[in-house]
Amino acid sequence: MLDELQIIDLFFEKSEVPVDDCAYLPETSQIITGDSMVENTHFRLDWHPPELLARKLFQSNLSDVAAGGGDPQWCLLQMGLPGNAEEQFLKRFAAAFREECKENRCKLIGGDTFRNTTYIFSLTMAGRVRRPLQRRAHPGDAIYMTGTAGLSLAGMKHLTGEMKLTGSLQKRALERHLAPVARLDLARKLREMPDLHGMMDLSDGLLQDLERFARAAGQRFHLHLHSIPCDDELLPLMPALERAISGEEYELVFCAPAGLQQAPGFDITQIGRVITGPPGLTVFEDSSEGKIVIPESRGFEHF
Amino acid sequence: MLDELQIIDLFFEKSEVPVDDCAYLPETSQIITGDSMVENTHFRLDWHPPELLARKLFQSNLSDVAAGGGDPQWCLLQMGLPGNAEEQFLKRFAAAFREECKENRCKLIGGDTFRNTTYIFSLTMAGRVRRPLQRRAHPGDAIYMTGTAGLSLAGMKHLTGEMKLTGSLQKRALERHLAPVARLDLARKLREMPDLHGMMDLSDGLLQDLERFARAAGQRFHLHLHSIPCDDELLPLMPALERAISGEEYELVFCAPAGLQQAPGFDITQIGRVITGPPGLTVFEDSSEGKIVIPESRGFEHF
């Protein structure tokens, strides 16, 4: 069986394989993205009430649009529904989805429904863009991320019983995993920085996402594990390498000259640097780059 | 369980429920459509080799774009693939899909793959449009269709064993059902007619499609069963009412003042007329409108 990248290769000429989650269309100054959520692959009905499913579907696509430098414009929803789909489930899903569209000024323009054994939600979203933010980086850049990493994985592990969280940490972890919010506001600030070279969103974990970013940019990325910012309470409970494989965080990762400072409402941390070298990712224990770490797993793959 | 129209209603304000298969976006002069094909709902792997699946997926979306007055611009493909999906199947599907894109100058801009128990192909397609052709009609208009209706249903019945076709009729029916071709060329001619009031494509059979057209246009449509054009050889084998429920024909249906003439390369037939009255469809045996027909079934519904 082919993996996702091999399948993508089948559909494109070598020179045209897309390297970004969003496609940039200069003709109409748009970026377009499409992301699906499939029952038992991406979500479980017993964990995800329909409201949260609708929000997560919307926000995961919005996150791509935000990271691409866009403002949401319209979306199109294709849904596979089982024969026993309940009216209440659909009503609640639709109401939450409409609210997301309204809050984010994104017009639902159409869609399609079809019968399937399980629920499938495929969304296509378009965003208006003045300056597309693609996966570019210059040697010498610092690699930054917004917010923290780890809470989403912790939330999932709490749900599966692998971790036992309590109190406000449990609440934050479950919220992050079940009801993530795209960093559209921060993306809007970042895209105004003239020397921001490239950006993407953190959806599959830093190890996978930075590897793709580095290859798309044609540069070598060095990740410093101990620099990955983490929720204070989670920090002692989750090894740095696990923070690096936590996906569905929907934080932003970007490359810009070193020296950016955190500030109120500008919640960023340097987690590595870009050097000249064969495209790809090297993982170091910390910013001294004294010890290379070879991860056993790159994290969860949905396909 | 809700039907498709009831589900659509959940997602839209009453005044905003889409009445066209394509959404028209004046801001970017585009129309957008999305259509899915699902194993065992829309296709069977033993009937549809991967090349034909790719072509049908592409052409069914292209047909929507053509009927909406557009020229294909880009598409985005979301695929659910079973764990045992064969490399050869995907290679053949991808090669045929790329060819469709190339022939029709439609750029594949991205997509998504996910695991599912069966194959699912969801395509979103955008088209450039100068004048969107929506489902409008004026009282007094004639209702026309291009080509013929019936071959697609005949092809399906041959495959299920309900009909036994031979020779060139068998070939034409199977081609129509398995490898339909959107009438983009004719749509391009038709959209230049200033008094063409509205157009759609024939995807679910005349009974269902004209009912929707009539409601969207807010007019009463009269369909004349015996006027529905049919393949000469198929004519004696298929009752007029069956031609009216044959879907996936991908012909064009449009409303314009009476008096249009068939001509070489302009293959059209009047099949009814538009009158003032409560929106909806009335089916008559023939153009004398002497006898109303009440169909037992509106045809096949995919959902």
Q: Is residue A171 part of a domain?
A: yes
Cβ of residue A118 closer than 8 Å to a chain B Cβ: yes
Question: Do B106 and B237 fall into the same domain?
Answer: no
E-strand stretches of chain B: 23-25, 30-38, 70-81, 107-115, 120-129, 141-146, 198-201, 220-224, 252-257, 268-275, 280-284
Answer yes or no: is A204 a known binding residue.
yes
Answer yes or no: do B122 and B101 share one domain. yes
Q: Is residue A210 part of a domain?
A: yes
Q: How many domains does chain B have?
A: 2
User: A252 and A148, same structural domain?
Assistant: yes
Interchain CB distance below 8 Å, B23 and A74: yes
| Residue B287 annotated as binding site | no
- B124 & B17 share domain: yes
In a domain, A91, yes or no: yes
Does residue A1 lie within any of the structural domains?
Answer: no
Chain A residue with Cα closest to B116: A38
Considering the domain architecture, whether residues B104 and B232 belong to the same structural domain is answered as no
Q: Which of A122, A125, A203, A301 to mutate to test the interface with B (most CBs of B within 10 A)?
A: A122
Query: Domain containing B246: what range?
Result: 141-149+180-284
Low-confidence ranges of chain B (pLDDT < 50): none
Determine whether the interchain pair A78/B34 forms a contact, defined as Cβ–Cβ distance below 8 Å: yes
SS (H, E, C) chain A: CCCHHHHHHHHCCHHHCCCCCCEEEHHHCEEEEEEEEEECCCECCCCCCHHHHHHHHHHHHHHHHHHCCEEEEEEEEEEEECCCCCHHHHHHHHHHHHHHHHHCCCEEEEEEEEECCCCEEEEEEEEEECCCCCCCCCCCEEEEEECCCCHHHHHHHHHHCCCCCCHHHHHHHHHHHHCCCCCHHHHHHHCCCCCCCEEEECCCCHHHHHHHHHHHHCCEEEEEHHHCCCCCCCHHHCCHHHHCCCCCCCCEEEEEECCCCCECCECEEEEEEEECCCCEEEEECCCCCCCECCCCCCCCCCC
Domain check: are B108 and B145 in the same one?
A: no
Do residues A122 and A162 both lie within one domain? no
Residues 28 through 87 of chain A touching chain B, CB cutoff 8 Å:
28, 30, 32-36, 38, 41-42, 73-74, 76-81, 83-85, 87
Same domain, A20 and A70: yes
Task: Kindly provide the ipTM of the predicted complex, given to two decimals.
Answer: 0.85
Q: Supply B237's token pair.
A: 């084998």
How is residue B101 annotated by DSSP?
H
Please list every residue in chain B whose beta carbon sits closer than 8 Å to the beta carbon of residue A7: 79, 81, 90, 94, 113
Residue A22 is predicted with a pLDDT of: 81
Q: Which pLDDT score, from 0 to 100, does residue A265 have?
A: 82
Residue A298 belongs to some domain of the structure: no
Question: So what's the pLDDT on residue B8?
Answer: 84
Does residue B120 sit at the A interface (CB-CB below 8 Å)? yes
The answer on A152 and A37 residing in a single domain is no
Residues of chain B contacting A110 with CB distance shorter than 8 Å? 18, 21-23, 32-34
**What is the model's pLDDT at position B264?**
81
Question: Domain of B267: which CATH number?
Answer: 3.90.650.10
**Searching chain A, which residue's CA lies closest to the CA of residue B21?**
A110
Same-domain pairing of B39 and B108: yes
CATH of residue A45: 3.30.1330.10
Which value, in Å, is the radius of gyration of the alpha carbons in chain A? 19
**Is the CB of residue A1 less than 8 Å away from at least one CB of chain B?**
yes
Q: Does A294 map to a domain?
A: no
B105 Cβ under 8 Å from any chain A Cβ = no
The confidence score (pLDDT) of residue A300 equals 61
Q: Would A113 be classed as within a structural domain? A: yes
In this predicted structure, what is the pLDDT of residue A299? 72
Q: Are residues A21 and A65 in the same domain?
A: yes
Q: Is residue A65 part of a domain?
A: yes
Which residues neighbour A112 within 8 Å (Cβ) at sequence distance 6 or greater?
A78, A79, B34, B35, B36, B122
Interface of A with B in 204-243 (CB under 8 A): none
Same domain flag for B91 and B222: no
CB pairs under 8 A between A and B: 166
Local confidence pLDDT in tens for the 303 residues of chain A: 688 878 888 888 777 777 677 889 998 999 999 989 999 888 899 889 999 999 999 999 999 999 999 999 999 999 999 988 889 999 999 999 999 999 999 999 988 888 888 999 999 999 999 888 889 999 999 999 999 999 999 999 999 999 999 999 999 999 999 999 999 999 999 999 999 999 999 999 999 999 999 999 999 999 999 999 999 999 999 999 999 999 999 999 999 999 998 888 889 999 999 999 999 999 999 999 999 999 887 776 554
Mutate to test the interface with B, among A14, A17, A28, A38 (most CBs of B within 10 A): A28
Cβ contacts (< 8 Å) between A84 and chain B: which residues? 1
> Which of A129, A162, A180 is at the close of a domain?
A129
